[in-house]
Structures are given as C-alpha cells and as structure tokens.
Structure 1
Amino acid sequence: MDVELRASDDDRNRVVAELHRHTTAGRLTLDEFSDRVGAVWTARTLGDLAALTRDLPALAADASTGGDATAHGRRELLVLFAVAALTLLLLGGFLAVTR
C-alpha cells in the first residue's frame, strides 16, 4: 500500500466499519470512536487512514466481509427509514380518526 495515495470514500467507509467493529468488541470507547470517525472524514491519504487503526489488532474473522459491511449498513438504514415512515403513517391515521 502506498501511504501517499489519496483515500477514496470507499476507503473511508471501510475504516469506519472497522472502527465500529472494534468499538463493538470493546476496544474503543464511544468517545474514541467518535473522534476517530471525525478524523476519517478529514483524512486525505491512505497513510492518514492507516494511522487511525494502527494501534488496533487485525480483525481476521471480519476482514472477509469487506464491501458487505457498507451494503449491510445501507440495508439497516433502509429498514430504519421504513420503520420511521410506517410510524408516521400510523400516527397520521390515528390523528385523522380521533379528530
């Protein structure tokens, strides 16, 4: 890996997913996760991104997911949006019936 290469949004998303897995495993506090994610979005090079995970062990079991983590996150967001929309529809129906 050439550390001077510019990072892409996919590279940043991969690092955020890795940081999330480390937070879930208890290696990072929520404050540390938040600070590092903020630094991810300001990172310019692959070296900048690598520095954010340098003190964390490799996640061999999760490394195979790669791009699937982004797709999974999008599915979760879509489900959350669907639940919110359904809640608003039910609330609107309730308000219409009670007036």
Structure 2
Amino acid sequence: MDVELRASDDDRNRVVDELHQHTAAGRLTLDEFSDRAGAVWTARTLGDLASLTRDLPPLPRPAGNADPVGHGRRELLMVFAAAALTLLLLGGFLAVTR
C-alpha cells in the first residue's frame, strides 16, 4: 500500500466500519471511537487512515466464501416458492370443489 495515495470516501467508510467493530469488541471506548472517526474524515492519504488503526489487531475475515446476503436471498426465494406452491394447490383445490 502506497501510504501517500489519496484516500477515497470508500476507504474512509471502511475504516469507520473497522473502528466500529473494534468498539463493539471492547477495544475502543466510545470517546476513542468518536475521536478516531472524526479524524477519519479529515484524513487525506491512506497513510493517515492507517495510522488510526495501527494499534488495533486485524479483524477476522469471514470464514470461507460465506455470503450472508446471498444466503438470505436463497431463504427468501425458498419462502416465495413455498408460498407460490401453496397458492397453486389452493387454487387447484378450489377449482375441483366448485
């Protein structure tokens, strides 16, 4: 990483998210989080951003190729399919009993 490269808003958002996770884990107090998050928005370079998390351990990566969003979509698709099948069966039953 070239520490002199200019930071983007995505870079800043990623660091704020990381700081939030460290706060939730108890590594930072709310005051520390507030101070560092404020500094994120004034950071100009990737090096400035890196200095805000240098004393924190790396966050664990999600296991494997876990995709919680994709998993949620599959569950929603299954619920939709079950509802559609139920409606078809109910429509067939009503057609037969009339």
Aligning the two structures, in what range does the TM-score lie when normalised by the shorter sequence? Answer: 0.5 to 0.7
* Residue identity opposite 1:47 in structure 2: G
The corresponding residue for 1:37 is 37
For the pair shown, the structure with the greater C-alpha radius of gyration is 2
SS of aligned partner of 2:28: coil
The corresponding residue for 1:87 is none
The corresponding residue for 1:59 is 59
1:6-57 superposed Cα distances (whole Å, 9 cap, x missing partner): 0000000000000000000000000000000000000000000000000000
The corresponding residue for 1:75 is none
Identity among equivalent positions (%) equals: 83
State how far apart, in whole Å, the 2-side matches of 1:6 and 1:61 are. 25
The corresponding residue for 1:93 is none
- Asked whether 1:4 is paired with 2:9, we answer no
Count the aligned residue pairs. 64
Q: Which runs of 5+ in 2 are unaligned?
A: 69-98
The corresponding residue for 2:18 is 18
State how far apart, in whole Å, the 1-side matches of 2:53 and 2:9 are. 17
Q: TM-score, normalised by structure 1?
A: 0.62
Q: Which runs of 5+ in 1 are unaligned?
A: 69-99
Question: Equivalences for 1:60-99 in 2 at 5 Å?
Answer: 60-61=60-61
Q: TM-score, normalised by structure 2?
A: 0.62
List, as ranges, runs of 4+ consecutive aligned residues in structure 1 with deviation greater than 2 Å.
none
